[in-house]
Chains A and B, each alone.
Chain A
Amino acid sequence: MKLLYFAWMRQRIGTGEENLAKSDDIATVADLIAHLKAKGPGYAAAFQNPAVIKVAINQDYADFTSPIAEGDEIAFFPPVTGG
C-alpha cells in the first residue's frame, strides 16, 4: 500500500509518503490507523484525534470502516480548507 499524509499530519509524522506491506490483521482503515499509531510518537500525535481526520482510498473519500487492499493508495489528511 502507498500511504500519503498531508498538512499537519505530514508534519507530525515527518514524511508525506511511505509504502507499507499490508498484513492480514489490517482489513479496514480503522485497523490501519491502529497499526500506524503504534509506530511512534509522531504517528500517535498525528492520529490522536480521529474526529478531525479524513481518509481517501485511491483518491476518493472513504470511511474508517472502508476495507483496504494491497496496492491501494491511502491518504490521511485534516478537513480541507481550500477555496
Chain B
Amino acid sequence: MISVQAEPFDVTHELALLTEGRTDIGAIVTFTGRVRDLGEKTLTAMTLEHYPGMTERQLEKIETEAQARWPLQASRIIHRYGRLEPGDDIVLVITCSAHRQAAFEAASFLMDWLKTKAPFWKVEETGVGETWVEAKAEDDAASDKWGK
C-alpha cells in the first residue's frame, strides 16, 4: 500500500497495521528517510514538490514490481510532500517477508527506484536563498543495478 501525504507518519502504528494478527511474517525491514543538515550550509527547511496523480501511479508500479521480484507478505510506502525541517521524516518503506534476505533486498530496491522514478523535487532553503536539489549520478547507478 502506498500513501502520498503532507502529514507525518508513525512507524510503530504502520508496523502494527501490517502485522496485526499475522504469524507468517518472519522478517520486517523498515527504512525511514529524514531531512538532514547539509554540513557546510545551514539548512532551514526543505520543500518537496510532487506531481499529484503521477506520484501515486509510479509508487504503485514500483511496489508492484517489488512484489513480483521478491516473496513479500506485505509492504508499505509513505512519502511526504510540502515544507519539512531538519529532523523531519520524509519517506517510509516497510517490507515483510518470511526471511530476511527478501525483506532487505526489497526495501533497498524500493528506495533505489523511488529516488529515480517517483516524481518529487526538493528545494532547499538556506540562509542565502533557495536551491533546487540536483539528481545524483550515484542514485541513477543504484537504480540501474536492479535492471529495468
Contacts and interface: CB of A to CB of B under 8 A. Distances in A.
Contacts of A83: 33, 79, 90-91, 111, 114-115, 118, 120, 139
B122 A81 contact: yes
A76 to B, nearest CB: 11
A77 interface: yes
Interface stretch (A1-9, A31-39, A42-50): A1-9
B133 interface: yes
Contacts of B33: 83
B119 A82 contact: yes
Given A59-B57, A60-B57, A82 B120 contact: yes
A59 B50 CA distance: 12
A82 B135 contact: no
B147 interface: no
Contact of B49 (A6, A59, A61): A6
Interface in B108-139: 111, 114-123, 132-135, 139
Contact of B117 (A6, A59, A80): A80
Given A78-B132, A81-B134, A56 B90 contact: no
Given A7-B49, A83-B91, A83-B114, A78 B54 contact: no
A59 B61 CA distance: 12
B53 interface: yes
Nearest to A7: B121
7 contacts: A60-B57, A77-B119, A80-B121, A81-B122, A82-B50, A83-B33, A83-B115
The 4 closest A-B pairs by CB, nearest first: A82-B120, A79-B135, A83-B115, A7-B121
